Structure 1
């Protein structure tokens, strides 16, 4: 029934590839170990989960000169971090892998952990395309319809730029809010992006429902 309701919400003209990409992006917001246990989005536990999620405090990853942006989502605080990967021989982004993604497992012992193969190739990994002048087109492997740009900002540091509502921002973090649904088809309430206006330095928050 949930699947039918979700499909009705989708525009008939929505490309199937885009829908599948979005599902992949959301499906892997949980550690793979979750697949071995009962779905954390089971309807029978919806009320309890809602109360638990209210109490979650999402930590801000420690400051790092290499930091570009990070991604968080409920129901836990495990955080995906994306840092610039500089080639020490040139002082510029590595041409093959300009960005290094990894976990900070706050929900465990707070340890750093590399993405596994599936997460890297189908969910949280990035694909990059050099555009010249040390600028790169960056896309999530699971959601390539959302373009990002890696380039130097006015302060001379490499930043990730995103265009939201026809406005360019320096992306700082993304948050995905999920309530109910199933493990393979969660109910995404919204995706929120926070960034900085490069012209004014003002913080900007944009929210949308996929």
Structure 2
């Protein structure tokens, strides 16, 4: 069921973010050549996928005084690397059905986050030991900070891509080692 939902949701976004016709899907080694967002204030994590280098950034939503917006603590936007790094808001369909999030307060400075396309994996926005907000999740059964999400698309069409898996990249809290988990969706 979640494969059908995720495939359908990503289909909607591929209509808006189609790669050029005939452009190959990125091989495993090529995803490492995708640009890493830099100079993005309050970046929590980012999402990339096969097709092109455009990236979705998830950042803290701070008010003018620097306080966290407790009603909407995370904002999302595209970094359009194909357009010289311009920032662009996600459209309604992208937020509602593919890349959006739902945030549930859990107490002071603590929020549970569910992505709309993969709600079975919980993420948590909390302060770390340095009193800075980060997104935490379990990666390979280890407590980690989430840094990157990559969606592997293996064929299909722009209207019906075949989602092979989702990769979660983070840093283990206890060892500071890099952690990667591949979550099969089909």
TM-score normalised over the length of structure 2: 0.85
Give per-residue Cα distances to partners, 1:21-52, cap 9 Å, x unaligned.
32244324536164xx99x5xxxx5xx62589
1:81 lines up with 2:62 in the alignment: no
1:132 lines up with 2:107 in the alignment: yes
What residue is the counterpart of 1:21 in the other structure?
Answer: 5
Label 1:149 to 1:33 Cα distance change in 2 as closer, same or farther (>3 A): closer
For structure 2, list consecutive stretches of 5 or more residues without a partner in the other structure: none
Task: Tell whether the 8 Å contact from 1:126 to 1:140 is kept in structure 2 after alignment.
Answer: yes
Counterpart mapping for 1:183-194 below 5 A? 183-194=158-169
What residue is the counterpart of 1:199 in the other structure?
Answer: 174
For structure 1, list consecutive stretches of 5 or more residues without a partner in the other structure: 1-15
> Number of residues paired by the alignment?
184
What residue is the counterpart of 1:116 in the other structure?
Answer: 91
Larger-gyration structure (1/2): 1
Counterpart mapping for 1:168-179 below 5 A? 168-179=143-154
RMSD (Å), alpha carbons: 2.6
**Is the deviation greater in 70-79 or in 115-124?**
115-124
What residue is the counterpart of 1:143 in the other structure?
Answer: 118
TM-score normalised over the length of structure 1: 0.76
SS at match of 1:93: coil
1:95 aligns with one of 23, 47, 70: 70
1:70 lines up with 2:46 in the alignment: yes
Q: How far is the alpha carbon of 1:141 from its aligned partner? A: 1.8
SS at match of 2:138: strand
What residue is the counterpart of 1:8 in the other structure?
Answer: none
